Amino acid sequence: MVRESIVGENSLAFGKRIAKCYRYLKDKKKETIMSKQLLRCGTSIGANIREGLYAQSR
């Protein structure tokens, strides 16, 4: 991955931790609804950063 920004790298690492937490909650604790919401919210950060970096106008 090309280093775009510190925020981008941190959001990727955060997204990976959220995905691990999601798997733990789903498999071990049998929690489905809250874990899905956690995954959606935790990974949307990276999408928002990417959208901001590649916007057509500043």
Distance CA 44, CA 14 (A): 11
Q: What is the pLDDT of residue 16?
A: 95
pLDDT at residue 49 tops 80: yes
pLDDT band at 1 (very low <50, low <70, confident <90, very high): very low
> 12-25 pLDDT, tens per residue?
999 999 999 999 99
Determine the 3-state secondary structure of 29 from DSSP: coil
User: Which domains occur in the chain, in start order?
Assistant: 6-53 (1.20.1440.60)
For helices 6-27 and 33-53, angle between their N-to-C axes, nearest 10 degrees: 170
